[in-house]
Amino acid sequence: MKKALKVLGKIAAIGAAVYAALFAVFYFDLDGKALFKFVEPTLVKHYDNMPRRDPMSRPYGDKPTNE
Amino acid sequence: MADIMNAIGKTLDLANDLPPMRMPDVKMPNIKLPNVNLPKVELPKVDTSKAKAAAEKLPKFSVPKFSLPKFEKKAKYPNPAFFKAKDNMDWKAQGENLKEVGGIIMQLFKEADWKDFLLRQKNGFAADFARVKSEVEELSAMTPEERKDIFLHGEKHLGKLYRSGCMATVRREWRGAKDTAYDFYEWLHMWGMLLGTFSHDLVPALNATFHYRWMISYMCCVGFMDKNTLGQKGSALKMSHLMIYDIFRYVAENLVFLAKCDEKNGNSKELNKKVVLFDEMTMGQIMAGFPDLLGIPYQLMPVFLVSEIDQLTCVPYIDAVESFGLPADTCPVPSSECGALVLDALPHMGACFISSSMPCDGSVMASSYMSRRFPDLPVFHLTFPVRYEYEETVEDAAEDIKACIKFVEEKTGAKWNWDAYFTNMKRFNEETKYELEKWEVNKTPYPQIIGPAYELFRKWNYEMDGGSDPRVPKTFRKVDKIMKQAYERREEAWRGKMKYRGIVWSCPAHYYANFSNWIANCWGVDILVEMESLNFTKPLETEDKELALQDLARLYERMVMRRHTNGGYRNVVDELWRQCEAWNVEIIIMYQNVACKNMSTLQGILDEQARDKGYHMIWLEHDLMDPRTVSRKSMRAKVNEYMRTVMKAEPVDPSLVEFDDENAM
Ligand code: SF4
């Protein structure tokens, strides 16, 4: 019985800690900040580096075939 | 007669006054019955053989067997097979992609000016510390009653959530204990849904994030949800969350499909055979007759919707196409679409594409551009007559729809299914019925459902969903219930901020999709309805096939923007005064897209008539998807000036009069 209570207590403590952590992420907008401060700057550089199709280099012979 | 009734009434009253009667206790005697022996009677034998023989000669009736209808498992939406369709990824190319991203992270790590980074973090912490300190000081200067009020009902000054130069808010709003808890739950709900949906096919979805700049903007959709619900509490907050959730579920699912189909990412040949693309202005209802196909409003995700979430997304598109020679005064809707093609920001996918001449000629340009970019994609142009009020044009439009159906059948091998179409349209009719209920409530002195979430939901449901998703009516019902209960309680949709009744007219600025939220929070101007919501509300035909096609044509002809801004004088000028009267408004927010030629011709007429009729008309210039021409701040300044000088009003929340959100999403 005591063991079961202990396990339950631990589960409740972990649950409370997860809840508090998630609430902190929510309340301080840490998800938004992480995206803007780290994810976006990294990816923007990647997007700028990516080779993209250049419409000006399309060969003359390449005619549209949409029906 | 009246005398008789009075007499009866008096008698009944007298009867009510009489004391209750008690029955006397009576004892019954025990009575014993005598035993009687009955005589045995034998019945005569009857020969039944003849009757049996005759009965055999009679025609036999077989009782029809009734089998109870089998309850089919509810069809899942969207079809799970779409998610399961096999990807044909070019793993080598994707590997290169991943390597590149890894390389950039390493490079950023190595090249970072750590001193500068730490200094910025230090400054950030210092600013945070100063903010927390001032908030604590503010709180400690309050009386216990004021503190209790903030704890229970939320903060009053929302402008302090923005910090100059930042894309994200400094923190989320404190709406009071109960509403913050609810907001937190919805935040978890939204992230859970996003992660769950992306995990349906995670690899292509991740690759698309590495490939397309606009994908990253969608990761901030939770922040967009905050902007739309800022200042809302109780029932209004609940309704907004319910509606936004449905929009983002649709968006998340379609983003996965885009990633799965795109040649550069999932490249699912199997799914591509079933995908019909349509341009962002073409309504989705036509796909209701093709339940086995997947209709995707193609430019909606990379251009149209994303520009409402992130104000800066379309800027590179516009610059790209203008550098090719497109005049800068073209409407940013088609400009951005073409620019996205120049920058190769649209996925290469689908079995065919339905374009349209809607809402105006800019779309024709974008469609041509699109078909030249993807020559392997067959295109059908829906070109409905613009004068939609002339009933004689309806047959032409219905013919156009028939031809479009035939085109889809030919290109995909699918067959038009009337049962599926009618089922969806019944659902759409039910949704329209609920929409009309919202209008009725908002026309009363106690409007309940106001703010950007409602406006976005209406546009999305009318244009994109169109009754296709069976999960959506549930949201309508829930919202309807909450709205009516709130109305019964005479709740304030924007607590303490219901000062003026307003209407929005003309095409709104995409980069300030939450403008009606700001104007309610700052000045107490409550936007009851937008022009874009006031579209076709007649129930669509769900029995007769010919009439159904005509109704569908009528619906398409009255799509967003087309119904009013392209509908001629009567539909955009006279209609405004009719609506102002119906909704009993005093302020008109008149948007003026500086590139919209249709509306610019009417400015003088609208101004003059508004003055004559005694309405306050605030003109708000904007450039639809380009915040560099007229910033959000300039738009706010225009309202601030009008409210102070003409209305002689005081702001409800002075912290929102001036703040910097030039970089905010
Ligand atoms: S804003 Fe004006 S020009 Fe642009 S698509 Fe709408 S109606 Fe056409």
At which residue do the structure tokens 């009075």 appear?
B6
Every domain of chain A and the residues it spans:
2-48
Mean pLDDT computed over B613-637: 95
Which one, of A23, A29, A59, A43, lies nearest residue B124 by Cα?
A29
pLDDT in tens, B350-402: 999 998 877 777 788 888 888 888 888 999 999 888 888 888 889 999 999 99
From chain A, pick out residues whose CB is under 8 angstroms from the CB of B188.
22, 26
pLDDT at B27 > cutoff 90: no
From chain A, pick out residues whose CB is under 8 angstroms from the CB of B108.
41-42, 45
pLDDT of residue B241: 97
pLDDT in tens, B236-273: 999 999 999 999 999 999 999 999 999 988 999 999 99
* B168/A65 touch (CB, cutoff 8 Å), yes or no: no
pLDDT of residue A47: 84
Cβ–ligand 1 contact at B593 (below 6 Å): yes
Cβ–ligand 1 contact at B333 (below 6 Å): yes
Confidence of residue B63 (pLDDT cuts 50, 70, 90): very low
pLDDT of residue B624: 92
Give the closest-approach CA distance of A2 to chain B in angstroms: 33
pLDDT at A66 > cutoff 70: no
Least confident piece of the model among A52-66, B76-90, B308-322, B571-585: A52-66
Cβ–ligand 1 contact at B507 (below 6 Å): yes
pLDDT at B523 > cutoff 80: yes
Amino acid of residue B194: L
**Crossing angle of helices A40-49 and B91-111, rounded to 10°:** 120
Instruction: Give the residue, B129 or B440, on which the prediction is more confident.
Output: B440
Does B332 fall in a domain? yes
From chain B, pick out residues whose CB is under 8 angstroms from the CB of A65.
375-376
pLDDT at B69 > cutoff 80: no
Opening angle at CA B589, ends B586 and B593, nearest 5: 160
Closest Cβ–Cβ partner in B220, B223, B342 for A55: B342
pLDDT in tens, B122-145: 888 888 888 889 889 989 999 999
Would you list the DSSP string of A1-67? -HHHHHHHHHHHHHHHHHHHHHHHHHHTTHHHHHIIIIIHHHHHHHHHHS----GGG--TT------
- Atom 1 in ligand 1: which residue has the minimum CA distance? B596
Q: Cis before residue B508, ω within 30 degrees of 0?
A: no
* B375/A35 touch (CB, cutoff 8 Å), yes or no: no
pLDDT at B4 > cutoff 60: no
Mean pLDDT computed over B315-323: 93
Instruction: Give the residue, B414 or B118, on which the prediction is more confident.
Output: B414
Tell me how long chain A is: 67
- Rounded mean pLDDT of chain B? 87
Mean pLDDT computed over B201-209: 88
CA distance B485 to B483: 6
- Atom 4 in ligand 1: which residue has the minimum CA distance? B331
Cβ–ligand 1 contact at B363 (below 6 Å): no
CA distance B400 to B385: 10
pLDDT in tens, B266-281: 999 999 999 999 988 8
Mean pLDDT computed over B40-64: 57
pLDDT of residue B664: 78
pLDDT of residue B656: 95
Would you list the DSSP string of B19-38? PPP-PPP-PPPP-PPPP-PP
- Atom 2 in ligand 1: which residue has the minimum CA distance? B596
The total number of structural domains that make up chain B: 1
Q: Which helix (H) or strand (E) holds B598?
A: helix B597-600
Q: Is B262 helix (H, G, I), strand (E, B) or coil?
A: coil
Q: How far, in whole angstroms, is CA B548 from its chain's centroid? A: 25
* A41/B108 touch (CB, cutoff 8 Å), yes or no: yes
Closest Cβ–Cβ partner in A23, A41, A50 for B184: A23
Confidence of residue A40 (pLDDT cuts 50, 70, 90): confident
HEC assignment per residue over B426-477 = HHHHHHHHHHHHHHHHHHCCCCCCCCHHHHHHHHHHHHHHCCCCCCHHHHHH
pLDDT of residue B65: 46
CA distance B319 to B329: 12
DSSP conformational letter for B565:
T
From chain A, pick out residues whose CB is under 8 angstroms from the CB of B210.
43, 46
Burial of B437 (0-12, 13-18, 19+ CB in 10 A): middle
CA-based nearest residue in chain B for residue A67: B378
Confidence of residue B601 (pLDDT cuts 50, 70, 90): confident
pLDDT at B21 > cutoff 60: no
Confidence of residue B114 (pLDDT cuts 50, 70, 90): confident
From chain A, pick out residues whose CB is under 8 angstroms from the CB of B342.
55
Does B301 fall in a domain? yes
- The set of residues, in sequence order, having a beta carbon less than 8 Å from that of B86 and lying 6+ positions away, is B268, B269, B270
Least confident piece of the model among B68-72, B386-390, B395-399, B465-469: B68-72
Q: Which domain range does residue B321 map to?
A: 85-91+157-656
Residue A51 has phi, psi (to 5 degrees) of -70, 130
pLDDT of residue B470: 95
CA-based nearest residue in chain B for residue A64: B375
Does B182 fall in a domain? yes
Cβ–ligand 1 contact at B598 (below 6 Å): yes
Confidence of residue A58 (pLDDT cuts 50, 70, 90): confident
pLDDT in tens, B28-46: 555 555 565 655 656 556 5
Q: Are strands B379-382 and B525-530 parallel, antiparallel or unpaired?
A: unpaired
Is the Cβ–Cβ distance between B282 and B355 less than 8 Å? yes
pLDDT at B559 > cutoff 80: yes
Does B144 fall in a domain? no
Does B187 fall in a domain? yes
Least confident piece of the model among A36-45, B201-210, B514-523: A36-45
**Which numbered atom of ligand 1 lies nearest the CA of B360?**
8
Residue B592 has phi, psi (to 5 degrees) of -135, 95
pLDDT of residue B635: 96
* B216/A42 touch (CB, cutoff 8 Å), yes or no: no
ipTM for the complex shown: 0.88
Phi-psi region of B444 (alpha: psi -120 to 50; beta: other; left: phi over 0): beta
pLDDT of residue B107: 75
Give B535 Cα–ligand 1 centroid separation in angstroms: 16
pLDDT in tens, B422-434: 999 999 999 999 9
Which among B52-61, B102-111, B538-547 has the top mean pLDDT? B538-547
pLDDT of residue B7: 52
